Amino acid sequence: MTLTPLLEPNWMRAILPEIVLSLSGIALILIDAFFPRIRPYLSQLTVLALLGTGFAVMRAPGGTYFGATWEISGLTLLFDLLFVGATLLATLFSREYLSREGLEGAEYYALLLWGTVGMMMMAKGLDLLVVILGLEMLSICLFVLIGAHRKIAISNEASLKYFLMGAFATGFILYGTALMYGMTGSTSLTQIGQWFRGTDQAGPLLTIAVVLVMGGIGFKLALVPFHGWAPDVYQGAPTPVTAWLSTAPKAATLVALVRIWHGLSGGPEPAAWGGLVATLAVLSMVVGNLVAIAQRDLKRMLAYSGIAHVGTMMIAIYVLRPESVAAITIYAFTYTLMNIGAFGVVSLLRKSQNDPQTLDDVAGLGFRHPFHGLALAVCMISLAGVPPTAGFIAKFYLFKVAIEAGATWIALVGILASIVSVYYYLRVVYYLYMKEGDELAVEPDRGVFSTAALAIAIIGIFVIGIFPTPLFRGALEAATLVLRVP
């Protein structure tokens, strides 16, 4: 490994999005401290910073940087946009939530921005260490954000839980990486991949390494049986943070997983450890959907539904190939839109964070507040995978890929699990439109920011649902590049 040409020309522009985000975060904190008069406009500034980042993302030159540890390609571009978009939506929902809960402060927004940097690093890292650094950066931001409600016990509990679990998970991944380094002599995913292509022996050490890495990633993705933290953390975290943490970090982890798995399998073939992935996928889909039925708390229900959705995306890892990476991309976009939309409506309900947000709180919302009701209904219908929403297209394409890869059985499991999921998603629609709310019914906040965010989510769900071709083509082209064998 040579150390000399560490800085390629253009390297500044390549990490410009990360630079913009990091500096904006610092600037927000300084503004909060020194210019109290600008304080009410923190969320607007955050939005501006994110728009600037989006611009920088679009202009980043493709290629590999920093001694082939950092990749900018079509795929990272798409996922960067996803992270920025998710953070943007979360910011838009945060404004009303924070002012209602009295939590306003620059650090909240700054942490969102820095967390986004972490996700970008995870998606771009070609080296396990870069991925782990990104993961840590993201996790630390999340520990604080989840506990942002300092005076509320469940928020503290959630933060502590996520911290302990997250620390363990990172430890697992690091230990696995160390073992892998011991075997292959490198932490670069490309070189690990080459090593695998050159050998056909898999010793017990390697198995331990893979299991450790998968276990750590399973924690981060909240896959069954590593999902225990998810419902409590989702419930305890400030709702816009939940919206954010349930979507974008999962997408980032999945991109990293695609790279790792690609390196391990030595080409777009079903992996040797496919059984492990398939087990995680099936368990998550089945357990997630079945347990979600029993939930009356909306955030806990969405937590279990999220477990099931990530399990569904794991099908694509199981049959890893360019098409399945495209499937993950479409699914991740879709899932981000519909899940943030759903959590967004929950975050707008004028109810203390300390009390559970149950199904009863949205009873009759569909007729009292048609727009909010419609938004939640559309998100639910999309989560259930009913056409013409994006949820249908995402599932459709994922199962299509699975069948084309010859894994019809796992698609069948996915379909059966979706049938179960229809029940609890529809139950929300039933509460929205078929139940009368009483006088104590919770009213939603209705500000410009949140309305815009909901509109983006609804429109996005229908646009992907009806015209998926551009996203699909971009994702497939990018995926083919990422999965090429050097």
Partner 1 sequence: MENLLSIVLWLPFAGAIVLMAFPRRAEGAVKITALIVSLATFGLSLAILGKFRTGTAGLQLGETLQWIPDWGIRYALGVDGISLWLVLLTALLTPIVLLSSWYSIHRWPKEYAIAMLALEFGMLGAFLAVDLILFYVFFELMLIPMYLIIGVWGGANRIYAAIKFFIFTIAGSLLMLLGILYLGWLHIQQTGVPSFAIADLYGLTIPMKQQVVLFFAFALAFAIKVPLFPLHTWLPDAHVEAPTGGSIILAGVLLKLGTYGFVRFVLPLFPDATAEWAWLFGLLGVIGIVYGALVAWVQPDMKKLVAYSSVSHLGFCVLGIFAMTGASMTGSILQSINHGISTGALFLLVGVIYDRRHTRLMSDFGGLAKTMPVYATLFVVTALSSVGLPGLNGFVGEFLILAGSFRTMPRLTIVATTGVILAAIYLLWLVQRVFWGPITNEENRNLPDIRWNELAAMLPLVVLMVWIGLWPNAFIRRIEPSVQQLLTIVSRGGEQRMILAGPAAAPPAPADREAQTRSNGAAR
Q: Where on the chain is the footprint of partner 1 (CB under 8 A)?
A: 367, 381, 386-388, 392, 396-397, 399-400, 403-404, 408, 411-412, 415, 418-419, 422-423, 426-427, 429-430, 433-434, 468-469, 472-473, 476
Nearer to partner 1, 13 or 435 (CB): 435
- Note the maximum CA span of the chain: 70
Task: Tell me the CA end-to-end span of the chain in Å, nearest whole number.
Answer: 17
Cβ proximity to partner 1, 218 vs 437, nearer residue? 437
CB of 210 to partner 1, least distance (A): 29
Question: What are the DSSP calls for 200-224, one per residue?
Answer: ----HHHHHHHHHHHHHHHHHHT-T
Which residues have C-beta within 8 Å of that of residue 157, sequence separation ≥ 6?
232, 236
Question: CA angle, corner 255, sides to 251 and 258, nearest 5?
Answer: 135
In the complex with partner 1, which residue's Cβ is closer, 159 or 295?
A: 295
Asked if omega into 387 is within 30° of 0 (cis), the reply is no
Bridge partners of residue 72, in order along the sequence:
63
Q: In the complex, what is the shortest distance from the CB of residue 381 to partner 1, in angstroms, rounded to a whole number?
A: 7
d(CA 141, CA 143): 6
Distance CA 331, CA 310 (A): 9
30/419 with CB nearer partner 1 = 419
Distance of CA 76 to the CA centre of its chain: 14
Nearest to 315 by CA among 410, 210, 215, 412: 410
- Phi-psi label, residue 406: left if phi above 0, alpha if psi -120 to 50, beta otherwise: left
Question: Based on CB atoms, which residue is closest to partner 1, 162 or 397?
Answer: 397
Residue with smaller CB distance to partner 1, 371 or 449: 371
What is the phi-psi region of residue 222: left when phi exceeds 0, alpha when psi lies from -120 to 50, beta otherwise? left
Residue 165 identity: M
Q: Bridge-partner residues for 317, per DSSP?
A: none
Minimal CA–CA distance to 247: which of 378, 342, 155? 342
Element (H, E) at 345: helix 322-348
CB of 206 or CB of 292, closer to partner 1: 292
Classified as helix, coil or strand, 349 is: strand
Beta bridge partners of residue 297, listed in sequence order:
358
Least distance in angstroms from the C-beta of 359 to partner 1? 13
Under 8 Å between Cβ of 166 and 233? no
- The distance of closest approach from Cβ of residue 400 to partner 1 in the complex, given in angstroms and rounded to an integer, is 5
DSSP class of residue 268?
S
Residue 426 CB, nearest distance to partner 1 (Å)? 6
